[in-house]
Every structure is written in C-alpha cells, then in structure tokens.
Structure 1
C-alpha cells in the first residue's frame, strides 16, 4: 500500500520529511514529491501550497503520477466550534467549499451546480483510525470529528465565524481540505483530513497562527505517525 500525505505549508510537511527515509524526489509542475518510507510504510509526501487551486492541482498529480492508494491531508486550521481550543484536533467527516456561491441561481451556499454531491465524505475506516490515534495521544475532550470548511480566505472575524458555523455547522475552517476531498471523490480515492487548531478564526487569528502553527504541525505529525503504525 502506498500512502499519499499532503500538507499545505512548509511547517506542516517538514515535521514528517525530517523523520522519513527518502528514496527519491520528483518535481512535477513545480511541486516536490518526496517518495520513501516512514515507520516501514511506503509514502509520498508533498507540500501543496496555500489555497484550493494549489491543493487540487497537487492532489491530482499525487494520485495520477504515483497511484497512491489512500490520501491523508494534515495541517492547521481555525476553530469555529466554541468548544474547540488551540491545539485541539479536528478529523473530517465531510468537507464543503464554503466560498462556492451560486445563490443567485437558487442554490444553497456551498453547493456546486451540476454535481451530485457538494459535501465530500471522508473514508469511514480512516476517520475511525485517526480518531483512535488522536484520542490515545491527546484525550477524548481534545478530539472533534465533524465537518471541515474550506475557502480561499483566512478567516479572522467573529462575524465570519458565526456565519460559517450557523450556515454549515462546521467545526473548523481552512483553505485546502475540501478541494483535496473534491479531487479524491472524483478519482475514487479514500481520504481523511486531519487538522490541528492553530487559532480561533477571530480578530486575534493572525497573531495566534504565527505563535501556534509549529505546535499544531507537531500534533498533526503525531497522529499521522500513529496511523501509519496501525495501517
């Protein structure tokens, strides 16, 4: 089994790259794919860059060029659920592109016209495994399983938090996961998105993000390693 692991930013990828045994590096379309082993599992690790288009291009290349069997997306996010705190873990049940807006044509916010489904569901087995590993490492009260929202914006206002939470009942918000999920659904690859909370998506979000992004990335690494041990 070959696992694809994606992170959006350097901070999210370097933690894993430093501990994997590298076999080869491939550059495709400006993305560097690191193929090797981690905990005796074959993986391809890649930094996709920030935003939905970058994530979609990168995940498509990962699946088509390397024929990975499963996709794990790891990284940081801003919390929407008021019960979620910095450092907590969110595991995706499904993901929505919250900034997809065709409401002028009568569609609900986040619905992509002419698609059967705009809520991209993660793989149940991967969800259960991620939850088990996260709970063992961080405790049940710090692990949330639910909907993750993605859009091409860094959310940093209470007004936007309230709107996202009320409209979509999302647990957290970020900028890539739903587009990776979109690609995985179309290309029929099981996936899960695992996010560690780096900020509360409010007016302090930019300050909190810079301070806690490394801690959040380390938390994500712990979960990925635990999942690899169990797979």
Structure 2
C-alpha cells in the first residue's frame, strides 16, 4: 500500500488522473480519500491539511487506517536556496523543522526514503535532491528566508513535510516529499503564489503517478 497526500486538491490532481480503477471513496478525520490502482500499485490519495499539526494528525490517522509501506507527500513550496528558481522540483532526502528546538535526545532531522528517491529520479532526472525545511510560518521576507537558509541549508520551505516525515519515522514507514517551487519566499511571495500555484502545483503528483506506472513498489 502506498499513500500519496497533498495540502490542496490541485496538488494531487496529477495522480487522480491516472487512478484506474477506483476501488473506494471515503473520509478519514473529515478529509476525503480515494483508494485505487496506478500501474500495479494500490494507492490511497488524501488531501486537506494546513500546517504541521494537521499534517502530523492526518499522517498518523492514515498510517493507523491503511498501514502503508510507503508515504509520499506532494505539492508546492517556497525557495530557500538562492539558486532555486520557480518551477524547480525538489525531492527531500532530509527533513528539518526550522521553527522548533528538539527536546534532549529527540530526533530533529529525519532522512527521506532512498528507495522512493531513486524511483523518482528514474522517471524525472531533473529533480533536485536536498533538504526540505518546515515550519508554521509563511516565509515572505528576504531576512527571514536568509535566516532559515543559514541554519538549515534547505532547498525549499513548506509547512508540512517535516511533520509528516517525523510521524512516518516513528511508525517505520518510508517517507518522501516531492515539492515544486512556486514562490521565492521574499516580499512578492503572495503574488508569485497566486500566479504560479495552479499551473505548477500538479506536476509533482504527475511525476509520482508516472513512477508508480513504471515501478512496482
């Protein structure tokens, strides 16, 4: 079983288009899910979360219900690395919460699934492999962007991936996030997001769908 999640439906539509046959529609903690087949893989698609609390809550509920082997999170992100530009696609190999300090002995950096990363690179060799930082803040200033990048050296920033990565780590589930840059995390962030989100957001889930068509996981 493979789970594919996103914040908004637009970010997961690339996989919905390839889901055939559909086996089940339902709800999990008031979020819609669809279970079906892509290639030879059984997959559950779920969307509807904002921030780290909802991301962690939904991830745990999904794991409890479906007991997946793999968990993939897709969607949009803001650039942190000054070299990243709008349209770049990043696959996380390390996940960091940039807005908290871990308690003593707690694991604050989570590594992504090497297997999922390799399969994604096999179908999309332009993907950038690197760190994804998450926090409950919408980054929209050069100073804030620079501070987070200095500490994390992350390629992109979002509000969800690292929380899901931690839940998956604690449950022994392979995790990977695939994110596309839709804004620069600077003063024009909100304008850039509005301009780029709808046209770019579906691409990561379409790449995942292609990977699932090609590979049996």
| Range class of TM-score, shorter chain | over 0.9
> What residue is the counterpart of 2:95 in the other structure?
95
> What residue is the counterpart of 1:204 in the other structure?
188
Determine if the alignment matches structure 1 residue 119 to structure 2 residue 104.
no
**Separation in structure 1 between the aligned mates of residue 117 and residue 27 of structure 2, nearest angstrom:** 30
For 1:165-192, what per-residue CA distance to the aligned partner results, in whole angstroms no more than 9, with x for missing partners? Answer: 1111111000100000010010010011
- For the aligned residues, what is the CA RMSD? 1.4
> What residue is the counterpart of 2:120 in the other structure?
130
For 1:95-114, what per-residue CA distance to the aligned partner results, in whole angstroms no more than 9, with x for missing partners? Answer: 111111xxxxxxxxxx3104
> What residue is the counterpart of 2:129 in the other structure?
145
SS in 2 for 1:161: helix
Equivalent residues of 2:14, 2:206 under 8 A apart: no
> How do 1:9-88 and structure 2 match up within 5 A?
9-21=8-20, 22-88=22-88
SS in 2 for 1:96: strand
**Separation in structure 1 between the aligned mates of residue 66 and residue 102 of structure 2, nearest angstrom:** 28
**Separation in structure 1 between the aligned mates of residue 205 and residue 35 of structure 2, nearest angstrom:** 17
CA shift, 1:115, in A, is 4.1
> What residue is the counterpart of 1:225 in the other structure?
209
Q: How many aligned positions are there?
A: 214
**Separation in structure 2 between the aligned mates of residue 114 and residue 132 of structure 1, nearest angstrom:** 38
**Separation in structure 1 between the aligned mates of residue 15 and residue 206 of structure 2, nearest angstrom:** 9
CA shift, 1:220, in A, is 0.7
Can you give the 5+ residue segments of structure 2 that lack an aligned partner in the other structure?
none
> What residue is the counterpart of 1:161 in the other structure?
145
SS in 1 for 2:201: helix
**Separation in structure 2 between the aligned mates of residue 148 and residue 25 of structure 1, nearest angstrom:** 31
TM-score by length of 2: 0.93
SS in 2 for 1:211: helix
TM-score by length of 1: 0.88
